Every structure is written in structure tokens, then in C-alpha cells.
Amino acid sequence: MARQILLRWLGHDWNTREMQKAAGEFTQTQDPEVAVAAQRTLLTVAVRDYEDDDDEFTAGIDEQLQVVAEWWSAHDPGTAFRQVPPPELKTRDDIEDFLRRHRVREMEGQALVLFITGHGVSGSRTHFLKLPDSVKGRHLNTSMRTTELITAALDSHAENVLVIVNTCYAGKIHSEVANLYEDIRADRKARCSLDVLVTCGHDKPVQVRRFPTLLRGAFHRLRTTAGITTPHLSVADLMEEFERGLGTPEAIKQHRLHRLIDGSGHLTPTPCIPNPGYRHVRELVGVGRRQASTPTDDYWLDRATGRTQDDDSGWYFRGREDLNRRVAEFLSGARARGVLLITGSAGSGKSALLARAVVLSSPTFRDEPIFKTAMDLVDAETVPAPGSITAAVLARHRGAADLAGDILQALGVAPEHPGSIRDPVVEWTQQIVQTLRARSEPVTILIDGLDEADERHRIIEDVLAPLSEFCAPQLAHVPNPRQDTDPPPPTSPAGLRLLIGVRSSRPLSASRTALPDEEQGLVEALQAVFPAAEEQRTDDEGSKKDIELYLHALICDGGHRDTAQEAAELVAPEVWPSFIDARLAGEQLRRADDPAAVARQPEWQKMLQRGTTGLLKRDLMLVAADGLPADVALALLRASAFAEGAGIPWSNIWPQMARVLLRRSRDDWDEMIQKLLKSRLNGYLAHDHEDNRRVYRPAHEALAEALRDLDPNQLDLGDTA
């Protein structure tokens, strides 16, 4: 009965003929995604229905099968497994029939996972899988040597194999399987990843309900707190998350997973273990290949649209026609060379302008429904040509070597190893130069957040300056008559267009008096390297109207078309030139019952005048009413602001940093983080990934600075715990 229940749970209607199909046998008309899944197979050998067992044991086996089936179900087409229904096993012959019917010993494909569960029997030197018809004292003939099952999988033709044994005394297998592993041919061991895990020590009986509980806990953490971003996990990842559920050192010692065969290494992900928390990231054509150090497509989309939540499908930025038209002209086919600096004060929409160009120029994005939404709202002359941006990188918290490597990878070139004595900045910059010289078509490199880089001036001097020969305008060439014997004139390298976003203070007058060296900023340094660079500011007086249009769009999306205009007109002058403050204010207003009434309140206007800090205080008090204490939420936000690199991973790091900032312990940090990410405060955060982990940081560097500089006592939050 349990077998039929499991098959229905898996959504299969298996008949005898289907069960007899060999691994990898699929019809010509099968869905391509299913055919891909045929390269990955899950086999379960589960022995239940022992005469002397109670319902608890049987229910435990069923629970194990359910959680294993759930884990290896299709989370993503690239990680889906073909799941062979578990057979009914009474005798040793039943297991042999199963191995033959599914040609396990000859099985091919990318990955094979074998899960073995039931009662184990430990002889003097041999471990057996006990069967319902096993005879006590005759295990050689009536039980199954566990290693026969293990080696059937390990010595198959599958490229990657993982065997998990959850039986009594499974640790006893160690010496047996180690000896048999030596008999597997050397080239297979060198070429393939072969791993064996057991759940019990050599002297421990299996606790039938503990394994599924711990595995389900690991499954949940991998979907939430772990934040691992690779499609597959390493064996060490699985063991770590499994062990995290055990808690105490004594429980860890008794019930952790044991790795008997290590064929894939400690850190290398294996196709045998799909990551339940993996989210496929769409890559935008035209922004280079995806790397851990460069922003995800969500980064560009967040900033291009002005959305305040990850799951928001709206396009809110309006206006800015002159700026967007200028960027589109710079990226047009008429320009093969040049440098355009997009600059302005903090939060004035520099990244939004650049991200809009990245997203709208992506041929891949043009197939998305949101592209049509955007095109209905913008002037066609402000839309860059498809594919006009070759590479887009983010300089935030990157050193000179980091950024040079990012540019190379975004151009589709692997950085060469510089060796121990060579400077990677010099080597990789030279590699960029060589790449540009080899290109026959103009290249466009977009760099956002240069002011947020760790080595700003070295990036300008040692990475960007050597590229100036490709950006400088070419003088018109007047051909001279030449003889046939003259060598052909040298061909000029393809041009380079550099589009750079960099913060600068807003001038209070139109004076262009040269600043003394000690007062020159990054814009002046860039202009010294690129004398012909053009500059466009995002914080002039005209941007007040752009902020008003942005606020109007946000508030209308909340269903308040009647009062949106009045509210936007009241708020825009108070938050200008900060689109960040406009975003935070707009999010509050579109959640209000009457946005205009809120915007007219003297207390709310006074809060606006305090900028980000005032808006944050109101949001903190609002989430406190939803069960997220304001001081806890603030500690979590500030922890993300203090994080180095691309952001803070959830795991156990975010709770620990928040605990230090809060100055007291809590037992429910994971719950608090979940509430934060589902609350209105999610709009204060952006996410990326670093070192194969999902990380969180403030949505803008100006917001991060405000959080780092904030004295929590200034907010007068009181005791909201």
C-alpha cells in the first residue's frame, strides 16, 4: 500500500511496462526536459513490512521515501531526476530482479543516486540488508550484502554516483566498501565522482524517524537560510546542513552523516545533489557572462524599473527623456568611441539611468512581457539599440584587480593566471587591451558605482587609463596616393565606448573654475585621463519633475489614482534630489489608505525633511505592529550595511552580526529575518550572490551609509521587543 501511496504522491501512473524500461530509454516524442532528466536517476531500495515490526517503523520508512522523493523532484529542469518507483522487496531475488530490470550495473547518465533503507544486520565482517523473508543465521543466502548494492551503483557507467545508506550498523560497511572501491578501475575513479554516505555508526541501530526529520530540516534551511546559489550542492554542504539540525555536540557525535567514500572532494558541487534553494537567474545578453563578482540581472532590473519589492513586475521610472536620449545616442552605431560620465549626488538616479540602458539594450530582455510595458511608457528615441552594451560590471567594493578580472569575464575572456610575482592589475589590464585590439567591432563597457570601489584611483590610473587609446576620437584620415609597392596602412583597432557612473557633489553654480588638486574628486580624475569625456548630471533642477513622475507611478500602482498627483506634488520638492528617499516615501504612501492626506500631515512632512532617517523610523514603527520589533529590524538592517563584499549571507552570520548590534540574544533570529524579508522593509534591501551564497545589502550605498552612521538612540524607538 505504501508503495502505491508514494507513486500517487509522485504523480506517476506506473504500469508494468513502464517499470521495465531501462534507464535512459525514452520515446522520440518525449518532452526535451524529461529527456534531460533521464540523464539523472534516483533509485530507492526500501525494505519494509517486516513481520516483527510495528506501524511506527513502517511509517518511518514511508516518511523517508517521501522526503527523498521531494528532494530529488524537479526543482529546476537542469537538476530534475528521473525517479524509479521503489519496488516491493520480500526476498533477495526481488533485489536481484530490480538490479537486472533497471540495468543498474550498466546504467549510464550524468548522475545516479541510490538510497538504501531498512533493517541492517552486522555479521562478524559483513553488513547485510535484512529482508522480510530473511532466515536468521542464513544471511549469506537469504539477505543481501549491502556492498553488492553499493558497488552495483559505484561500478556502473554513470558519471557521478551518490549512495546513501540508512540502516542499522551502516558504519560497519566502511572497511568492506573501502576494499571493494580499490577494485574499481583507476580511470573511472579519476574521471567520475563516487560518494558513499551512511547515517549510523558501526554499533548504532537506525532511528527510523530521525533521518527524515533531519533531512527535511536541511531541505527547509537550504531553501531559506543557507542561501547557496549553485544549482547543485557539494557533499559537504549536505552534511553541514544535516548536522545543523542536530544541535548539541552529543547528538552530532551520535547521529551525523558519515562519509565512507569521498570521490567528489570537499567543496565541489556534485550533480547528484540538487540544491532545493536554487533559483535560475536569467542572463541578459549583452552584459557578459554571469560571475559571482558581478551583479545579477535582478540588480539591473531593480534599478531600471524603480520597483520596491523583488516580486514587483511594474515599471515606475518616468521622464528623464533628455538624459535617456543622450545615453541612447552615445550607444548608437554613429559613435564608435568616447567616454560618457553619468554623475550626480548620492541617490540621484545614476544607477537607474545606467541600468535602464543595460536592460533595454538586452536582446534577451526584449522577449519579456515587462519590455512591452516599458516600451509603452518611453520614447523610442530613448531606447538603446539591442546588443549595444558589450559588458556591464559593478565596481562596488571591488579592488583594481577584481574589476579588471570582472571586465575580462564580462567580455567572455578568462583572466590568465598572473603567477606569484606579476601584478594581476597590470596583467589583466594588458589582457583587456589585447582583447580590444583583436575586436573588429566597437565595444561598449559600462561600469556602475565607481565611487563605491575599494581602489578608486588605482582603477582610474591602472585599469581605465590604458584604455584611453581606444576611446580617443580619431582624426579624419586623408588618404595619400601610394604606389602598389607601398605597404598597406596600419588598421586602427576597433573603438571603445566607456559609460561610467560616479558620484559627485552637486555644484551650486554653473562656474567651471578648475579646482585645486587637493579638492579634485573622481570626476576630475577621470577627465584628466579622458580629456574628451562628456558629462551628464542626474541632479539638476529638472530632476524634481522626474521624481514627481516616479512618485505618481508608485502611488497609482497602490490603487490611489485620485490622490496620487497631489501627494506626488507635495513630496517631490521635499525629497529632491534623492530618488532613494522618493522610493521609500512612495512605498509608504502607496500602502496608505489616503496618500494625499498622509502627505499633508505636518508630522509626516517634518519626517520627510529628516530624509532617510525619518522615513526609516516610520517604517520601523509600522513593522513593529506586524510582529517584527523595531529594534530587531533595525539591527538586521544595520548588520547588512556593515557587511563587507557583496553583502551579508543569512546562514548563521546575519543573526550573529545582528545580535552584536542589538546587544542581546534571541532564539528566533531566523523567524525575524523571514519577517523582515516579507515586510515593507524588504524594499530597503537588495540581494546578490558571493562565494556561491545569496547575500543581502542595503538597496543603495547612500542608504548603507545612513544605516552605518545611525545612532539607534536617535530614533527613540523605545523598548519594542
Give the percent of the chain with pLDDT over 70: 85
Please give the pLDDT value at position 253: 85
- Look at the alpha carbons of 56, 61, 65, 67 in this order and tell me if their dihedral is positive or negative: positive
pLDDT in tens, 126-180: 999 999 999 988 999 999 999 999 999 999 999 999 999 999 888 889 999 999 9
pLDDT tens digit string along 374-430? 999 999 999 999 999 999 999 988 999 999 999 999 999 999 998 878 899 999 999
pLDDT tens digits, one per residue of 601-655: 999 998 888 888 889 989 998 898 889 999 999 999 999 999 987 899 998 899 9
122 exposure class (CB count in 10 Å sphere: 0-12, 13-18, 19+):
buried
Confidence at residue 701, expressed as pLDDT on a 0 to 100 scale: 87
Residue 317 scores a pLDDT above 60 = yes
- DSSP secondary structure string for all residues of 524-581: HHHHHH-TT-EEEES-STTHHHHHHHHHHHHHHHTT-HHHHHHHHHHHHHHHTT-HHH
Task: Say if CB 71 and CB 121 are below 8 A apart.
Answer: no
pLDDT band at 485 (very low <50, low <70, confident <90, very high): low
Cα(66)–Cα(2) distance, integer angstroms: 10
Do the beta carbons of residue 58 and residue 47 sit within 8 Å? no
Q: What is the pLDDT of residue 497?
A: 97
Mean pLDDT of the chain: 86
pLDDT, tens digit, 9 for 90 and up, residues 20-35: 333 333 333 344 444 4
> What pLDDT was estimated at residue 159?
96
Q: Sign of dihedral through CA atoms 647, 651, 656, 658?
A: positive
| pLDDT digit string, tens, across residues 442-466 | 999 999 999 999 999 999 999 999 9
CA 5 – CA 46 distance, rounded (Å): 14
pLDDT for the residue 281: 58
Any idea what the Cα angle at residue 584 is, between residues 578 and 589, rounded to 5°?
A: 120
Average pLDDT, stretch 566-592?
A: 94
Nearest by Cα to 114 from 144, 171, 152, 79: 152
Are 45 and 89 spatial neighbours (Cβ–Cβ below 8 Å)? yes
pLDDT in tens, 86-109: 999 999 999 999 999 999 999 999
Which pLDDT score is estimated for 56? Answer: 85
User: Which among 551, 289, 544, 246 is positioned nearest to 414, based on CA atoms?
Assistant: 289
User: What's the farthest any 2 CA atoms get from each other in the chain?
Assistant: 103
- Residues 52-68 have a mean pLDDT of 88
Establish how many alpha carbons lie within 13 A of residue 450's alpha carbon, considering only the half-sphere containing its beta carbon.
31
Query: How many other β-carbons are positioned within 10 Å of the β-carbon of residue 511?
Result: 6
- Tens of pLDDT, residue by residue over 231-240, are 999 999 999 9
Q: Which of 325, 306, 328 is nearest to 317 (CA)?
A: 306
pTM reported for the whole predicted model: 0.74
Give the confidence band of 207 by pLDDT, cuts at 50, 70, 90.
confident
H/E element holding 154?
helix 146-154
281 vs 519, higher pLDDT: 281
- Cell 547612500, residue located: 702
User: b vs e for 258-271, b when ≥16 Cβ sit within 10 Å of the residue's Cβ?
Assistant: bbbbebbeeeebbb
Among 683, 696, 684, 700, residue whose Cα is nearest residue 309: 683
For residue 89, what is the DSSP state? -
pLDDT, mean of residues 31-58? 76
Q: Which amino acid is at 211?
A: F
What's the pLDDT at 687?
86
